[in-house]
Structure formats: C-alpha cells, structure tokens
Amino acid sequence: MEMIDILYKKRNGEELSKEEIKYFVEGYNNERIPDYQMSALLMAIYFKGMNKAETVNLTNAIINSGETIDLSMIKGLKVDKHSTGGVGDKTTIALGALVAANNVPVAKLSGRGLGHTGGTIDKLEAIQGFSADLTIKKFADQVNSIKFSLGGQTKDLAPADKKLYALRDVTATIDNISLIASSVMSKKLASGADRIVLDVKTGSGAFMKDIDQAFELGRAMVDIGNGVGKNTVAVVTDMEQPLGNTIGNGIEVREAIELLQGEGSKDLLELCHYLGSYMLLLAEKVGSLDEGMEKIQEVIDNGKALDVFKSFVQSQGGDIKFIEQPELLHQTQDIYEYKALSEGYIHRLDAELLGKSALTLGAGRLDKSTKIDHKVGLQLEKKIGDYVNKGETVITVFYNDKDKLDGALELLQESVYISDAEKKPRKIIHGVV
C-alpha cells in the first residue's frame, strides 16, 4: 500500500477502506508518513468528507494507536461526560461532584489543553496543592471510596490523535465533523467509560458555529458510541456567549463551587441539571430525565455535592481553604471595571472574543511552554438580554499585569454590543441527539 494512492482516492472523493485508514494512522503515528502527505490527506478529508463507516474505522485506528484503560476495578457503571470545548466551561468541575454525590462513579480523565483558558486540570490547579498526577491504582481507589477522581490523560492514550490534532491545528482542518468525532470518541472509548454524555457546543465560541452542523457532529459521535455498544447521548448547547459568569481558571472554579452551594449562574445550573440528569439516566440510577434533575438539585440543597467536592480536592492534595474562601482563587493585584458606554439591552457578548481577552490577560496558553496565570480572568456582570444603565459595570477584569490589560480591553470592547431594542435571553439547551 502506498500513501500516494490513498491521497488520490480521497482527493477523488472515494471511500477509504479499513486497511487504508489503519495504514495512514499507524504510519503517521510511527513517523513513517511525513507531515506533507498527512496534511494533504487531512485537507482532502476536509473537502470530500468521510462516511459513517470511514469515521468508525478512523476512530478505531486512533484507539489502537495506544493503550486503552481498563476501569473494571471500579465498581458500577462509569459514565463519562465530554464537552467539545467552549469559553467559561467549568461544567466538569461541578458535574463530577453532583453525579458522584448521587453514588454514580465519575472516573474522569482530562487534558490541559491549549486555548483561551486552561483545561479542567489547569483550572483545578488554581487550588494550591491540587494534583491530577495519579497512579491508576490511586485513581481507581479514590473513585471506589468517594466516587469522584480526576486524572491527567496519559500520553499513551490515543497518541495518534495528539499528532493528528497538532497537524490539524496548523493546516486549517480542525472543524470537520468526521475528524472531530473520531478525535473525541477515540479518547472517550480508550478511557474505559461504559456510557458517554457529550456536550456539543455551538455558537461564536465553539468549533461548530452553525447549529445544524453541531447536531450533525452530535449524531456522528452518538453513532460511533452506540456502534460499539457504549450507550451515548449528545446534548447540543449554546456557546454564543460564555457559559456562566466567569472566564479564567481560579475564577471558574469559584463559580463551580458557588453552584454546589446553590448560588450558581442560571445557565450553568440548567446545563448541569441537564447533563447530570442524562448521566444518572445512563448509569441507570433514575428512570426519567425529570427524576434525574430532582436528584441533581437534591444534592445541592442537602450539601452532599459540596462535601464530595471537598473530599475530592483534599484527596488530590488541594488546600480546602480555597473552597472555604473561593475568592482567594482569583485574588489579583488589581481589577478594572468595564462600564457600559450607553444604556440598553445586551445583544452580544461574543464568546470567542471574550475568550481571547482572557487569554491576553494570561489565563490561557497558545503553546505548551506558556505558564498560565491561574488568578486572572473576567467576570460577566450581565448576560445577553439583560438591561444595562450607562456607566454600569458590564464586565469586571481581574488582572496582574498592566501591560496586558490594554490588549484585553480592546477585545472586550469589540465583544460587547448594546442596543435600545429589547433582546431575549439566549437559551442554553438547543436539543438532544
């Protein structure tokens, strides 16, 4: 088999066989196939697409490029949740505790990620001492004892995905449904979950800007999961404006803690109710979505979810002083209040631009070597549809470096649009696949 023949085939819009897909994934992973040929193939896939069988074969080839994790030592049905990524997405942090407090094991492997803010691990590392560097035994023991553990994804899990993703990132081939679906699902399936709940984001801060495409991506991933016998549900959710009221690392952990204390922002709470309820449903803990929602609210009201979160943080070395005084998580040298220049309704709070603004402050990284500033971030005092008076604060900026503030403010200015015309709040849940 020759790579050039595979390139001709996909360029001409033909279906690739299982063997051909295995050949290029293995070849690229083993560095036999050079970047220039792989880049050409990715672009051909981007334009010509892959059908369902090809997408499943690509997923399996990526899984087989590395090790798979056996979670059978953890008792009960393990349900994993994955988001396709967005701005201000602290759901995993709150949801882990909400689901675990309902006695469903949450064995979560997360990444650090490159982007506007850190990934879930970076966010939790805002809690002094917290570490996701766990042996598989400690990881499993912790899930068995307190039902919630969060470890770092090992480099041996779906290694071909890491290489392919890095190449896609620099060849404008990220936002293709088959490539995203196989990338996400290969990692989920290799991590040993029994059931999977996917949060597919759509809007300005998501890969899938278009809602129909988001549903298509959800469908592709559900087909892959169900196809290998892992019951999978995808919820398509809004990412036109950031999720909740905060963007950053420590500041997002604070918002997750507030949710567990019953004070969370409305959209984040609704999303946690929805995703949490699906997790309980797939884990066979409840018989209906409504019952699941009640159970999620119950562990907020009776304080169980917050207790689980404290045990989880303590068990992974974190100082619970930061849970008792969460404002310490984003104590910066200074704050700046970005005020409305006119009165009216908030029409736009562009998730992507606000994410870039947080990145400019130092909340994220564009390459692996950048050190994140865990304390900086943005707090949205208003959301789309809210009324604001002239001079009222729309966004509070927590910053440490004055030199970075000007760039961040320029992006803020661009991201906010206020008008006289009334504006409806955006809904958070667009539908379920």
Q: Which residues are catalytic?
A: 82, 161, 168, 183, 187
Least distance CB 1 / ligand URA (angstroms)? 26
CA–CA separation, 166 and 421 (whole Å): 43
Residues 337 to 356: which contact ligand URA by CB under 6 A?
none
109 contacts ligand URA (rule: CB under 6 A): no
183 contacts ligand URA (rule: CB under 6 A): yes
Site stretch for ligand URA (CB under 6 A), options 102-110, 174-182, 246-254, 399-407:
174-182
Residues 188 to 207: which contact ligand URA by CB under 6 A?
207
Least distance CB 66 / ligand URA (angstroms)? 14
- Angle between helix axes 18-29 and 35-48 (nearest 10 degrees) is 140
- List Cβ<8 Å contacts ≥24 apart for 72-76: 72/192, 73/140, 73/144, 74/105, 74/107, 74/140, 74/143, 74/144, 75/105, 75/144, 76/103, 76/104, 76/105, 76/283
Least distance CB 194 / ligand URA (angstroms)? 20
Q: Which of 127, 180, 190, 283 binds ligand URA (CB under 6 A)?
A: 180
Smaller CB distance to ligand URA: residue 110 or 360?
Answer: 110
- Lookup result for tokens 């403010």: 409
Least distance CB 205 / ligand URA (angstroms)? 13
CA–CA separation, 363 and 69 (whole Å): 31
Site stretch for ligand URA (CB under 6 A), options 25-33, 60-68, 175-183, 398-406:
175-183
CB-based contacts of 185, cutoff 8 Å, min separation 6: 59, 196, 221, 224, 225
Asked if residue 310 lies in contact with residue 122, where contact means CB atoms within 8 angstroms, the answer is no
Asked if residue 318 lies in contact with residue 128, where contact means CB atoms within 8 angstroms, the answer is yes
CA–CA separation, 274 and 267 (whole Å): 11
Site stretch for ligand URA (CB under 6 A), options 68-76, 172-180, 229-237, 355-363:
172-180
Q: Which of 85, 218, 225, 355 binds ligand URA (CB under 6 A)?
A: 85
186 contacts ligand URA (rule: CB under 6 A): no
- b vs e for 272-309, b when ≥16 Cβ sit within 10 Å of the residue's Cβ? bbbbbbbbbbbbebbeeeeebbebbbebbeeebbbebb
241 contacts ligand URA (rule: CB under 6 A): no
Site stretch for ligand URA (CB under 6 A), options 180-188, 273-281, 299-307, 360-368:
180-188
Q: Which of 104, 132, 184, 349 binds ligand URA (CB under 6 A)?
A: 184
3-class state of residue 400 by DSSP: coil
3-class state of residue 103 by DSSP: coil
Size of the site for ligand URA (CB under 6 A): 9
Q: Name the strand (E) or helix (H) holding 229.
A: none
Q: Site mask, ligand URA, residues 111-150, x = CB under 6 A?
A: ----------------------------------------
Smaller CB distance to ligand URA: residue 111 or 227?
Answer: 111
From the CB of residue 31, how many other CB atoms can be counted at a distance below 10 Å? 9
364 contacts ligand URA (rule: CB under 6 A): no
Q: Name the strand (E) or helix (H) holding 153.
A: none
Least distance CB 85 / ligand URA (angstroms)? 5
308 contacts ligand URA (rule: CB under 6 A): no
The residues that touch ligand URA, with contacts defined as CB under 6 A, are 84-85, 165, 174, 179-180, 183-184, 207
